[in-house]
Amino acid sequence: MDIVSQFNVGALAVPTSGVRPQSASAGTINGASLDRMAHNMPLSCVLHQNLGAIGGTPTTTSVITKLQDSADNTTFADYAPANQNSVVQACAALTATNTDNTANINLSSARRYIRAVTTVAFTGGTSPTALVAATLVIAGENLDAAI
């Protein structure tokens, strides 16, 4: 890493909204898609998820964010890099208030469009909800894809 990039990581990485912050009941939230071509087909990303306050006193809570990809920006599927034995790329489940975690993802075999998808699940409680959000930080511009 050269001295310029040590003091300007913003030149190397682009944070984007994966799943906008929201109060969610149980279910799946599809984030907005990101066109990798607009960023010279980055070869990696960090998927970061957050779980804030939990309402409705459920017995258990689970929030899992995964990455999906698509060739046409219409039909998405769970992303599993070809070189990782078809393991779907996702963050580990969050189960406690005010927690977060990340997954480092190799995008070298991803299709053109990617998006974050957050799944929220509860056991018990009265109308449980959770504050959730996810961020995608893309990096590793593919210089061969530069226009």
For residue 6, the model assigns a pLDDT of 65
Strand order in 129-139's β-sheet?
Answer: 13-24, 129-139, 44-55, 99-106
Q: What is the mean pLDDT of residues 49-75?
A: 98
CB of 94 closer than 8 Å to CB of 120: no
CB of 118 closer than 8 Å to CB of 49: yes
Average predicted confidence (pLDDT) for the chain: 91
Q: Is 94 exposed, middle or buried (0-12, 13-18, 19+ CB in 10 A)?
A: buried
**How does strand 13-24 pair with strand 34-35?**
unpaired
d(C-alpha 67, C-alpha 58), whole Å: 26
CATH class of 20-142: mainly beta
Where in the chain are the domains? 20-142
Tens digit of each residue's pLDDT (9 = 90 or more) over 93-143:
999 999 999 999 999 999 999 999 999 999 999 999 999 999 999 998 766
Read off the pTM. 0.90
d(C-alpha 134, C-alpha 32), whole Å: 11
Cα distance from N-terminal residue to C-terminal residue, the chain: 24
And the tokens for 112?
């053109």
